[in-house]
Every structure is written in structure tokens, then in C-alpha cells.
Structure 1
């Protein structure tokens, strides 16, 4: 699953992740404009629902994440939005945990911010449907790929070689998730361009 559990990461990694996530939340709150609140709430709800539906893959399970799409549209505001969703998941369903909240948030939100900066230039006023779909698809690839890389790195820093096989299996299990996230991102951004182009306006980050 995309959630790391309590007790998996070492204390130094937990503390560093919490500090970086707290900084991301602070930056995100400052950048979140009032007119973006409905979109932020919608994306937060989509992330919450999508990541509670688990699909069995071998001995584990995977779920949609949509962090790249959220980051593409919200920029740094993806940090506080996903923080609320992860906090509710930990409290209501025991997904992840409270001690590892900072690490889980960093793993999903930072790739979202990366997707925003790498792709937002494709969503300007003159963007075409093709550009919008490519940007949305790429956001899914960056979001899932980045989250897998972040979680693998956090596990490696905590457990060294003991997590090597788990990291490989985790990466392979999320290849289909990456494809589905990319497809959802492509069609969502294209639909927004047609119906709510103002939602694709540049975010002050």
C-alpha cells in the first residue's frame, strides 16, 4: 500500500520527514487562495476516497492516489489538503499512523508539487485539449512514480538492505496504478479545460 505504517521508519527519518512536511503545509496554507478552496476540497475528497479502495495484488494491495493531479492543480496547497485526508484516514481507518504522518504526507505531496512545477506551463490560456490531456497523464506518472521513489528512499534510509526486495515488489505493484492515475488525470484535466478553464489558472506558488 502507499501508506507507511508506524514502527517501520527510524526516528531520524520520522523527524526529518515531519519537519519537511510541516514546512510544506505552512507554505501551502500561505499559497491557498479563497477561490481555490472548492477545488482543494474536491481534490482532497477524491484522494481520500480513492486511497481507501484497495485492490489486492499478490500478498498486499494497491489503491489509486491522484496526488499528481492534485499537485498539478493546487501547487504547494497540496500539502495541507492531503495532510487533512491522511489525518482522517489514520483516525478513522488506521491507515498508516500518526507517528508516520509526516513521512506519508511527504511521500505523496512532494511529487505533487514536482508535477505542478514541471507541467503547469502546459495549462496556460492557450492550452489545447491535447496539451491538457498530456499534462494530466504526466501528472499521474510523476505523482505515483515520485511517491514510490520517496517511499523506497525512506525505507532504504531506515532499513538499509533489509527492505530491498520489498521496495522492488512495491514498485512493480504500482505500475498499473500509475497507468490508471495517468488516465484519470488526462481526462480530468481535459474536462476542466472544457467546463471550468478558470480552475487551470496559474497558482501563485
Structure 2
């Protein structure tokens, strides 16, 4: 899901920076002291999971767990993912510094949207389904946003944008399955996080 520096048009970069700053500010305002350790663990999970890249044109696909993070943390997904993306860009050269705002927006905004849509339903669906929907739908939204970022940067990226979107479809299924297992596990070992979620396992 990382887009490299030097690919996107300036208006796309500026819009990404502005929206990421707003999202991060909102997330930090919601950050309580008791959430810091959990947020740090999820940031580390995102950092490690997204180290394994499959190149896809000027972008790449990898596990991101943004649906899981959005479901658990909401707007905190912005600062959580921004920190991980900064470290990846500095230490491993993934993505880039200039495109950091767009990369964060493309991953964190779907997390917030999916979390907001699914969190009210946690009392009415099995944990497995909740986890799968969170993981798969967030990856699909991220793929759509990455493709849109490329498309808005010029017609030359139209083909690449299509490849990136379709390349994320199998990844969304894998992410959904893994997220499902994680939600079920958390529901068993830390049920206070998911009061009202019923698991069939």
C-alpha cells in the first residue's frame, strides 16, 4: 500500500498531508493514557506485518491490519499508523517522506470508516464475521484509495491504478481471515474489549 516518492501529483500530495494532519490531530485528542500501551502494540503489529512487500508497479501490497486497528482504536488509527510509516520510511525506505501524508491517509481513513461502521454492530454478529468484515473491507477501501491517488496524478497511471486495485482483492480475503482469528482470540483472552460480541468458536 506504500506509494513511492516522485509518483504523485503535487495537489494529491498536499491534500494527503492536510487530511492526515487533521486525522492525526483528532486521534491524538482521543488518546488517553490507558490506551497508549495498546496503541503502541498495534502500531508495532502494523509495522511488522507491512515489512513483507509484494511489489505492484509504483506501489506494493502487504498485510496492514488497518480494519482491525480501526475497529479497536477508531481515530487513533491515524497517529498509530503515521508513526509506523515514518519509521518504515526512515529505516527501510518504504514509501517515502514526501508521500507520507497520502500513504497514511490511504491506510488510516479506511480504518476509521470501517471501525465506525462495524463497531455498533459488534453486539449483533459473531466475532469471526466481525473480524473478517473489518479486515477485508478496510483493505478493499485502501486499495481503492491508492488507485484513486494514482489516477488523480495523471492518466498515465490509469493502468497501474487498476492493477493495484485488483491486486488487493486476494489480499483482502487473506486479511479478513487473519483478522477474524485475531478478533476471536482477543474476545477470549481480553473479553472486556469486546463486550457483547458473541463467538461461535
- TM-score, with length taken from structure 2: 0.91
Q: Distance in 1 between matches of 2:46 and 2:103?
A: 13
- Distance in 2 (CA, whole Å) between partners of 1:143 and 1:59 is 21
Aligned to 1:66: 65
Q: 1:94 to 1:59 in 2, by over 3 A?
A: closer
SS at match of 1:86: helix
Matched, 1:107 2:106: yes
SS at match of 1:179: helix
Conservation of the 8 A alpha-carbon contact between 1:39 and 1:199: no
Cα distance in 2 between the residues matched to 1:10 and 1:33: 36
Counterpart CA distance in 2 for 1:60 and 1:8 is 10
1:193 Cα offset (Å): 1.1
Secondary structure of 1:191's partner? helix
User: 1:194 aligned to 2:188?
Assistant: yes
TM-score of the superposed pair, with normalisation by structure 1: 0.89
Aligned to 2:199: none
| d(CA) in 1 for partners of 2:128, 2:32 | 25
- 1:10 match: 9
Alignment length (residue pairs): 196
Verify the 8 A CA contact 2:54 2:60 in the aligned structure 1.
Answer: yes
**For residue 80 of structure 2, what is the aligned residue in structure 1?**
81
Q: Deviations over 1:133-183 (max 9, x none)?
A: 111111112211111111111111111x21111111112222221111101
**Structure 1: stretches of 5+ with no match in the other structure:** none
Q: Call closer, same or farther: CA 1:14–1:175 in 2, change over 3 Å.
A: same
